[in-house]
Structure 1
Amino acid sequence: MPTALITGASAGIGEAFVRLLTEQKFHLVLVARREDRLQQIASEITNQGGSAEILVADLATTEGLTRVEDYIKAHPLDLLINNAGFGIYGATVDTDPEKEAEMIRLNILALTTLTRAALPEMLKRKAGRILQVGSVLSFFPTPYMTGYGATKAFVLHYSEALHRELKGSGVTVTALCPGSTESEFAAVSGLEQNRQMTATEVARQGLLASEQGKSFILPGTSNKLLPFLNRLLPRNWFTGIVARSLRS
């Protein structure tokens, strides 16, 4: 039975990954901070004949990140999904610098640490997949979500570069870059979202892209237009459009 570890597995896109991979007969390792929620999801999976275990950890802390890193090094994975992350909305000068530092640790440091933990064994077996959850905001500057957009740009560039490095190795890295999605993201970030895709559809497209060995996937037709416009328009113009959109 193949094994998949999913971070941020207690809600939203992370939980959608869990449900879809249960159908694919994966043994699942569910990682998140909320033990009660993880227990509930794991119980539902096992009651349906699936296989799941939980790993309670706050990946924004050294202790939590080390716990998951050590688990990955001791338990070979077939699929790693780095989904955990959050955003902060507002003018940079008005946002909490400690919260921003926590966001950077989770969105960047945790993702790279767990990726590096999984890679050696995958490369030894010449098989494995890593799916990184970025954002449509990975493709351009994001005034009023300055730090968040920058962390997701890192996710995209890191994943694309690593995908190329690993070409021919049997191991693939894919960046999933969704736009507005039904999840807890808006409540955490303080950003109101419209025209949302379902978390299940986003997760489904991400898993398919990973199976196909793609370097990245932008789910949703309208989301695909934004990076195109960013290339078409002068960069400062497009950044101004994004600023007006997010400010409002």
Structure 2
Amino acid sequence: MRDKQLALVTGASTGIGLELAKCAAEAGFDLVIAADEVAIESAAAELRRLGGSVQAVQADLATTEGVDKLCAAAGSRPIDALLANAGVGLGKAFVDQDFQRIRRVVDTNITGTLYLIHRVGNEMLRRNSGRILITGSIAGFTPGSFQAVYNASKAFLDSFSFALREELRDSGVTVTCLMPGATETEFFRRADMMDTKVGTEKKDDARDVAKAGFSAMMSGESDVVTGMKNKLQTTIANVTPNEVLAKQHRKMAEPGTAKS
């Protein structure tokens, strides 16, 4: 008899990633969870109360070494579900940002994520079985003035998800893209955006976002945009000139736009 299925969840110390891990645990998966901070250990303790095995890995997923460390933690067990959620944001004007922080957004959101999916996806394809959930964002639909690199990184992931899904269409591996809007997590504080309108306004609940994403993954759906407001926003974005979208985003993300 085969062991319980195994899910690997990145960015699982807080926010959407932690909630995705909870969804997987509640569905009966054993877990390998990862983040680049020590809080991943307390997240693991919380998840173990839901039953099943939980292994925590503190690793820098912006690096190939960090991804290799995470994959090694799974050992010889096949990964049945990969929930590639790790990501970082960065606010303020592009030319004012520290380039090392810009580089970290690209390395975490794009390079590390691609390397992880490439490694795990190859193993899934050999077995002709597996589920991949990629956390993109509705931010990928909009040129992100004062969040330029972050939004561009999510546009990359949104596009990549659909392309990979088509390439794997005739296999037993499914690819789903979770595209949330602004969500109540540590994201905006860590991105230095608490002086912006989007950073301080009411946001979606991380648990609701994760449940929608996990359900879509388990059903093999191509994508899910969470929340009616976000669905409407993406529909409008598809027919709005990029110049207009960039101006609108400025009103949300420019420093000093926070409600007083």
Decide: shared fold, TM above 0.5. Answer: yes
Gaps of 5+ in 1: none
CA distance in 1: counterparts of 2:54 and 2:203, whole angstroms? 29
Q: Give 2:253's aligned amino acid.
A: L
- TM-superposition CA deviations, 1:74-96 (whole Å, max 9, x none): 44201001111111000111111
CA distance in 1: counterparts of 2:179 and 2:128, whole angstroms? 26
CA distance in 1: counterparts of 2:50 and 2:221, whole angstroms? 31
Could you tell me which residue of structure 1 aligns to residue 9 of structure 2? Answer: 6
Superposed displacement of residue 228, structure 1: 1.5
- TM-superposition CA deviations, 1:82-127 (whole Å, max 9, x none): 1111110001111111111011000001110010111122112221
Gaps of 5+ in 2: 194-198
Q: Is 1:214 matched with 2:217?
A: no
Could you tell me which residue of structure 1 aligns to residue 82 of structure 2? Answer: 80
CA distance in 1: counterparts of 2:64 and 2:245, whole angstroms? 38
The TM-score normalised by the length of structure 2 is 0.89
Partner SS for 1:197: coil
Structure 1 residues 24 and 96, CA gap change in structure 2 (3 angstroms): same
CA distance in 2: counterparts of 1:151 and 1:75, whole angstroms? 31
Superposed displacement of residue 68, structure 1: 2.1
Conserved? CA contact 1:180–1:193, under 8 Å: no
CA distance in 1: counterparts of 2:176 and 2:124, whole angstroms? 15
Structure 1 residues 201 and 237, CA gap change in structure 2 (3 angstroms): same
Structure 1 residues 69 and 189, CA gap change in structure 2 (3 angstroms): same
Q: How does 1:60-71 map to 2 (within 5 A)?
A: 60-71=62-73
Structure 1 residues 137 and 193, CA gap change in structure 2 (3 angstroms): farther
- TM-superposition CA deviations, 1:140-193 (whole Å, max 9, x none): 211110000010001100011001111121111111111111111011112214
Could you tell me which residue of structure 1 aligns to residue 37 of structure 2? Answer: 34
Higher share of residues assigned helix: 1
Conserved? CA contact 1:91–1:143, under 8 Å: yes
Superposed displacement of residue 69, structure 1: 4.0
CA distance in 2: counterparts of 1:211 and 1:48, whole angstroms? 19
Q: Is 1:245 matched with 2:248?
A: no
Conserved? CA contact 1:69–1:113, under 8 Å: no
- TM-superposition CA deviations, 1:52-81 (whole Å, max 9, x none): 111110112343233124446844201001
Could you tell me which residue of structure 2 aligns to residue 105 of structure 1? Answer: 107
Conserved? CA contact 2:8–2:33, under 8 Å: yes
RMSD (Å), alpha carbons: 1.6
Q: Which moved more, 1:53-62 or 1:37-46?
A: 37-46
Could you tell me which residue of structure 1 aligns to residue 160 of structure 2? Answer: 158
Partner SS for 1:232: coil
Structure 1 residues 213 and 93, CA gap change in structure 2 (3 angstroms): same
Corresponding residue to 2:234 among 223, 227, 232: 227
Could you tell me which residue of structure 2 aligns to residue 205 of structure 1? Answer: 212
